[in-house]
């Protein structure tokens, strides 16, 4: 009976079952973490060249699909409390949901600024208001890359290669949200999400189109066409502007950071934020340089060399300039790096890709770190050390900020639970959203290191 009542309530709240995807249960937090090492149980906050020792906090995450959530408790009162909680969650999700319509830039097709399949580029724009009417946040969608004709053809028939396959409306949350309670610094800005459909972090620049595959490698043209259109729609009057992105979009926000600055008025305050875009050049578990070869194939296939920062390509091979550890130091525009030291995507695709693990030894570990063996945890901790070493290549700058945690996660700005929630990853009670906001509005630099220690995952 309770199941039926709850199902009916949720149906009326959401209007359609397809919106009932996941419930985040409040007794858990949103960051499944690994220990920095067997001996280190804390790290430091670096703020204006002053070090402060800090205590750590454990974070664990569980995501429970609605269809598997156990409603049959022996305690009827507890069941009723859970029912009220889930209904409240549904109301909040329905009330706070923001869906933004798509804009397809059909005029860009004539100039060759097109997705992999030749369709027009697209973005979603939610207008600012009040004090944020002349402020702009441009966020770039992530979604990996394609490194050969086969993988690009696969993308061509999805939303990552064709605007005809994209949803007409997109949910905005986290850094793109419009509620001051959940996005205190940017809620009333003009917020844009640029859709990702070129497969090379908006660096492709090939004139020729293969007559058989009909693949277009024109990411750099998409970048310029979309930004120019946004300038015409008011961004040229921007007082403040941020270029951000997640994953492959986070890499884009670094690669195009200075060009974004150059396209905006001199008087505009411009900064860039990379979320989970600091991909590092390391060997995989088999000892091969899988990611280096992969990035080299991307750059060659898409003709990316001409679109990468000249400050890097003057001294290094173009494919190495896909790695932030080699090129980010040269970025002149203020830059904030948000990343997990145990980035889950890099663990799965750089440290232990399928090609380096043909027998699937790492399969269970990559799905859930609780399944990792002592040796696997040690390898992952070594990756963390290499990540921090690569991160140190940025050097010290008064304009840069860092928020590095030990979550086993990938992308933390787009999800409300990690961006700004009551138990989001935090440091000295400073959550990610607050750290980014303070960095943008204040002149001094902030280095925020949140290294989470969790005895539950300490090797035996």
Q: Which of the following is catalytic: 216, 256, 290, 410? A: 410
User: What is the spatial distance between Cα 44 and Cα 135, in angstroms, rounded to a whole number?
Assistant: 33
Catalytic (active site) residue 438: no
Looking at 275, 284, 343, 357, which residue is catalytic?
A: 343
Label residue 180 exposed, middle or buried (CB < 10 Å: 0-12, 13-18, 19+).
exposed
> What values do phi and psi take at 165, rounded to 5?
-100, 0
Q: Which of 29, 201, 244, 247 is catalytic?
A: 247
Tell me how far apart the alpha carbons of residues 458 and 390 are, in angstroms, rounded to a whole number.
Answer: 24
Neighbours of 18 (CB within 10 A): 7
SS3 letters across 411-440: CCCCCHHHHCCCCCCEECCEEHHHHHHHHH
Where do we find the tokens 């138990």?
Answer: 423
CA distances from 317 to 219, 289, 299, 321, 329 (A): 20, 16, 10, 7, 16
**3-class secondary-structure state, position 187:** coil
Tokens of 238: 């921007």
CA 238 to chain centre: 24
- Residues 6 or more apart whose CB falls under 8 angstroms from that of 362 comprise 285, 352, 376
> Does the active-site annotation cover 357?
no
- Asked if 422 is an active-site residue, the reply is no
DSSP secondary structure, 221-241, as one string: HHHHHHHHHHHHTTGGG-SEE
Give the integer Cα–Cα distance in Å for 234 and 238.
7
Angle between helix axes 2-14 and 76-96 (nearest 10 degrees) is: 10
* Residue pair 159/165 in contact by the 8 Å Cβ criterion: yes
As given in the structure block, the two tokens for residue 395 are 């050097």
* Euclidean distance between CA atoms 339 and 402, whole angstroms: 8
- φ/ψ of 373, rounded to 5, equals -80, 170
Q: Distance between CA 320 and CA 421 in Å, rounded? A: 37
131 Cα distance to chain centroid? 27
Which residues are part of the catalytic machinery? 247, 343, 410
């Amino acid at each position: 009976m309770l199941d039926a009542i709850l199902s009916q309530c949720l149906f009326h709240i959401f209007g359609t079952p397809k919106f009932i995807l996941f419930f985040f249960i409040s007794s858990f937090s949103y960051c499944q973490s690994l220990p920095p090492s067997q001996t280190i149980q804390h790290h430091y906050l670096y703020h204006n060249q002053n070090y402060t020792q800090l205590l750590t906090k454990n974070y664990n995450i569980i995501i429970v699909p609605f269809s598997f959530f156990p409603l049959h408790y022996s305690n009827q009162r507890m069941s009723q409390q859970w029912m009220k909680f889930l209904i409240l969650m549904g109301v909040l999700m329905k009330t706070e949901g923001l869906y933004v319509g798509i804009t397809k830039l059909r005029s860009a097709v004539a100039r060759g600024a097109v997705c992999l399949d030749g369709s027009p580029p697209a973005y979603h724009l939610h207008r600012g208001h009040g004090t944020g009417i002349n402020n702009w946040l441009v966020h770039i969608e992530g979604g990996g890359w394609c490194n050969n004709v086969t993988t690009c053809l696969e993308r061509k028939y999805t939303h990552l290669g064709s605007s005809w396959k994209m949803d007409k409306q997109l949910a905005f949350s986290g850094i793109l949200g419009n509620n001051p309670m959940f996005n205190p610094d940017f809620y009333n800005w003009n917020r844009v999400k640029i859709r990702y459909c070129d497969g090379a972090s908006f660096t492709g620049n090939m004139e020729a189109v293969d007559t058989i595959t009909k693949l277009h490698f024109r990411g750099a043209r998409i970048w310029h066409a979309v930004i120019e259109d946004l300038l015409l729609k008011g961004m040229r009057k921007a007082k403040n502007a941020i270029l951000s992105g997640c994953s492959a979009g986070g890499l884009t926000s670094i690669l195009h950071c200075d060009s974004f600055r150059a396209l905006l008025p001199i008087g505009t305050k411009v900064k860039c934020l990379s979320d989970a875009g600091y991909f590092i050049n390391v060997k995989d578990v088999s000892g091969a340089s899988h990611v280096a070869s992969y990035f080299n194939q991307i750059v060659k296939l898409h003709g990316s060399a001409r679109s990468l920062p000249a400050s890097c390509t003057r001294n290094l091979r173009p494919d190495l300039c896909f790695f932030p550890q080699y090129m980010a130091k040269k970025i002149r525009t203020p830059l904030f790096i948000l990343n997990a030291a145990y980035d889950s995507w890099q663990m799965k695709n750089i440290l232990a890709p399928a090609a380096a693990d043909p027998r699937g030894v790492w399969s269970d570990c990559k799905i859930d770190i609780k399944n990792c063996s002592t040796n696997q945890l040690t390898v992952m901790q070594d990756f963390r050390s290499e990540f921090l070493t690569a991160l140190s290549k940025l050097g010290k700058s008064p304009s840069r900020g860092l928020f590095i945690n030990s979550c086993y996660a990938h992308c933390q700005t787009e999800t409300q639970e990690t961006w700004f929630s009551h138990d989001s990853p935090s440091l000295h009670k400073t959550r990610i959203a607050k750290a980014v906001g303070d960095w943008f509005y204040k002149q001094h630099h902030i280095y925020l290191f949140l290294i989470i220690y969790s005895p539950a995952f300490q090797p035996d």
